[in-house]
Amino acid sequence: MTVKWGVIGAGGIAARRTIPEGLAASEKCDLVAVMDTSRERAVAVAKQFDVPRHVTTVEELLAIPEIEAVYIASPNSYHAGQAIAAARAGKHVLVEKPMALTLADGQAMVDACAEEGVKLMCGYMMRFHAHHQWLKAQIEAGALGQPVFGRAQLTCWYPDTPGAWRQDPLLGGGGAYMDMGTHCLDLLEMLLGPVRRLTAYMGTLTHGYPVEDSATVLLEFASGAQGVVDANFNIPDEASQNVLEVRGTKGAVYADHTVGQDAGGHMMSYIVREVGGYDAAQARTGSIAEEVVVTPVNTYRAEVEHFVDCIEQDLTPVTDGAVALHSLGLALLVYESARTGKTMMV
C-alpha cells in the first residue's frame, strides 16, 4: 500500500532532500501535489519531480480529496496554523522541526490531531541514521558501561542573505540553535535520555542578522551524565566536522559527519572488555579502535516510510507530538537561559 502525499512549502529542504530522497523515492509514498506561495517554485518543483498538481495556497492543497498526509516544510512560524488546518481536513501531519514557536501553538497542534484521529510526527530525521541507531543499540546493551558524557555539534557557513527566513526571528524563532541545535539535543536525548537542566550561551559574533550565529548549550541529563551541544552559522563548510561523541565507563564512540543531512559519515568505537586499575602514567599502549561499519540508510526516506508505517499500522511515531512538544520546550528554555544567564531546570 502507498500513502498519498501533499507538500506545503515546496522549496528549501523539501525540494533539496525530502521530496527527491523520500517522497519521490519511496514505493510507500505517492506525491500527488505540491504547494508553495511562489507559483514559479511550485511549477518548477512539480515539473522536476513529475508531480501531477501544483497550487499556491494551503486551502487548495487541503481540498484535494485523495491526499492522505501532508509534509509541512514552510517557515517555522506557519507550522501551527498549517498543521491544524491539515488535521481539520483529515490529513496526517509530518511537520519539520520545530513544530511551532510557542508551547501553546504546539499543544494546539497535538490537540487538533488527536481530536481528528490523525497522526502527528516532527521531522527529526537524524534519529534514523544507521550509525546513530548502532550507537543507540550499543548504549542500551551496556557496551559503553555507564554513559557519562555526550556531545553533538552541527555547524555551517550561513552569511547574511536577503529574504532568508531562518535569519528572521519572527519567522524562524531563532538562529543556529533553533535550526541545527535542536537536532543535536534531540539526538543526545535519544542516546542518553532526558535532560534535567541546561545552561546556554548565544551570540551573533560574525554576521549582521538579528538571530544568533553561535550557540553552546551545557547539559545535565537525568542520569547524571553531562553533555554539550554546539551549533554555529559562522564556520566554513570545509572546516565543519559535525562531531558526535558519547563516552562511558567502558569506552567511547566518536563520529564525524554523521550529524547532518547525509547518510554517510565516519564512526570509531573504543570499547574495552575489562577496565583495569588506575594507571598514573596513563600509558595508552595497544589499540582498541574499531571502525563502525553499517549499511547506510537515507534518513529522509526512512523518516517518511516510518510515518507511512505508523499510519497504516496505527503505530505511534518515534517523534510524535509529545516528543516534539518536549523538544520545543527545551528550545525555549535554551533561549531563556541565554537571555537571562540562568541555569534552567527542565
Q: What is the pLDDT of residues 54-104, one digit of tens each?
A: 999 999 999 999 999 999 999 999 999 999 999 999 999 999 999 999 999
Q: List the one residue out of 197, 207, 149 whose CA is nearest residue 176.
A: 207
Does the pLDDT value for residue 283 go beyond 70?
A: no
Confidence band of 127 (pLDDT split at 50, 70, 90): very high
Task: Kindly state the average pLDDT of the residues 128-135.
Answer: 98
CA 242, CA 46: separation in Å to the nearest integer? 33
The grid coordinates listed for 121 are 510526527
Answer for the pair 64, 293: CB distance below 8 angstroms, yes or no: no
Instruction: Mention every residue, 6+ apart, whose C-beta is less than 8 A from residue 280.
Output: none
pLDDT at 181: 98
Confidence band of 274 (pLDDT split at 50, 70, 90): confident
Does the pLDDT value for residue 280 go beyond 90?
A: no
Answer for the pair 207, 234: CB distance below 8 angstroms, yes or no: yes
- Which backbone phi and psi does 188 adopt, to 5 degrees? -65, -35
Is the backbone of residue 145 left (phi > 0), alpha (psi -120 to 50) or beta? left
Does the pLDDT value for residue 26 go beyond 70?
A: yes
Exposure of 258 by Cβ count < 10 A (0-12 exposed, 13-18 middle, 19+ buried)?
buried
- Which backbone phi and psi does 319 adopt, to 5 degrees? -120, 65
Pairing status of strand 289-291 against strand 344-345? unpaired
pLDDT tens, 286-339?
678 999 999 999 999 999 999 999 999 999 999 999 999 999 999 999 999 999
- Written as one letter, the residue type at 128 is F
pLDDT at 284: 63
pLDDT at 273: 75
Confidence band of 1 (pLDDT split at 50, 70, 90): confident
pLDDT tens, 149-179?
999 999 999 999 999 999 999 999 999 999 9
Give CA separation, 215 vs 193, 201, 229, in Å.
Answer: 22, 6, 8
Does the pLDDT value for residue 279 go beyond 90?
A: no
Task: Kindly state the average pLDDT of the residues 114-140.
Answer: 98
Answer for the pair 120, 109: CB distance below 8 angstroms, yes or no: yes
Instruction: Mention every residue, 6+ apart, whose C-beta is less than 8 A from residue 163.
Output: none
Answer for the pair 195, 221: CB distance below 8 angstroms, yes or no: yes
**Most distant CA pair in the chain: distance in Å?**
71
Task: Kindly state the average pLDDT of the residues 185-206.
Answer: 98
β-partners of residue 323 are none
DSSP symbols for 273-317: SS-----TT----S--EEE-------HHHHHHHHHHHHHHHT---
Does the pLDDT value for residue 277 go beyond 70?
A: no
CA 95, CA 68: separation in Å to the nearest integer? 14
pTM for this model (two decimals)? 0.96
pLDDT at 108: 98
Task: Kindly state the average pLDDT of the residues 173-200.
Answer: 98
CA 136, CA 319: separation in Å to the nearest integer? 16
